[in-house]
Homo-oligomer: A and B are copies of this chain.
Amino acid sequence: MTKSSRATITDVARAAGVSLSTVSRVMNGNASVDAAMAERVRLVAAELGYSANPLARSLVLGRTQTIAVVIPDLANPTFQAILRGLSRAAADDGYHVLIADSAEQVETERALAETTRRRTDGVILCAPRLPAGELAELLPTLAPVVVVNRPPQESAPTVAADYRTAMAELVAHLYGLGHRRLVFLSGVVGSASGAARRAALAEARTAHPDLEILELPSGVDFDSGAAAADAVRATGATAVLAFNDLVAMGLLSAVAARGVRVPEDLSVVGFDDIPFARYTAPPLTTAAVPAAELGRRAWDAMSALLAGDPAPASSVLTPEVVVRASTAAPPAS
The segment from A37-45, A93-101, A192-200, A201-209 that touches chain B is A93-101
Contact A97 B98 (CB under 8 A): yes
Q: Is A75 an interface residue (CB 8 A)?
A: yes
Q: Is A83 an interface residue (CB 8 A)?
A: yes
Q: Is A185 an interface residue (CB 8 A)?
A: no
Q: Is A103 an interface residue (CB 8 A)?
A: yes
B-side contacts of A279, CB under 8 Å: 222, 249-250, 252-253, 276, 280-281
A270-287 toward B: CB 8 Å interface, digit per residue (1/0)?
000001101111100000
B-side contacts of A84, CB under 8 Å: 74-75, 101
Contact A99 B101 (CB under 8 A): no
CB distance from A105 to the nearest CB of B (A): 11
B-side contacts of A116, CB under 8 Å: 96
Q: Which residue of B lies closest to A119 (CB)?
A: B54
Contact of A56 among B51, B59, B281 (CB under 8 A): B59
B-side contacts of A74, CB under 8 Å: 80, 83-84, 87-88
Q: Is A58 an interface residue (CB 8 A)?
A: yes
Q: Considering the complex, which residues of chain A in the window 201-237 have a beta carbon less than 8 Å from any beta carbon of chain B?
A: 222
B-side contacts of A118, CB under 8 Å: 51, 53-55
Q: Is A244 an interface residue (CB 8 A)?
A: no
Most-contacted residue by chain B among A88, A119, A222 (CB, 10 A): A119
Contact of A276 among B55, B88, B100, B276 (CB under 8 A): B276
CB distance from A323 to the nearest CB of B (A): 17
A237-261 toward B: CB 8 Å interface, digit per residue (1/0)?
0000000000001101100000000
Q: Is A48 an interface residue (CB 8 A)?
A: no
Contact A55 B66 (CB under 8 A): no
B-side contacts of A119, CB under 8 Å: 54-55, 64, 66, 96
B-side contacts of A280, CB under 8 Å: 279-281
Knowing A55-B64, A118-B53, A279-B280, say if A99 contacts B80 (CB, 8 Å). Answer: no
B-side contacts of A83, CB under 8 Å: 74, 99
Task: Provide the bound-state CA to CA distance between A118 and B51, in Å.
Answer: 10
**Using a CB–CB distance below 8 Å, which chain A residues touch chain B?**
51, 53-56, 58-59, 64, 66, 74-75, 80-81, 83-84, 87-88, 91, 96-101, 103, 116, 118-119, 222, 249-250, 252-253, 275-276, 278-282
A-B contact pairs, 12 of them (CB 8 A): A51-B118, A54-B119, A56-B59, A74-B83, A74-B84, A84-B101, A88-B103, A96-B119, A98-B98, A222-B279, A253-B279, A280-B280
Sort A-B residue pairs by CB-CB distance and give the 4 closest, nearest first: A281-B281, A74-B84, A276-B276, A249-B279
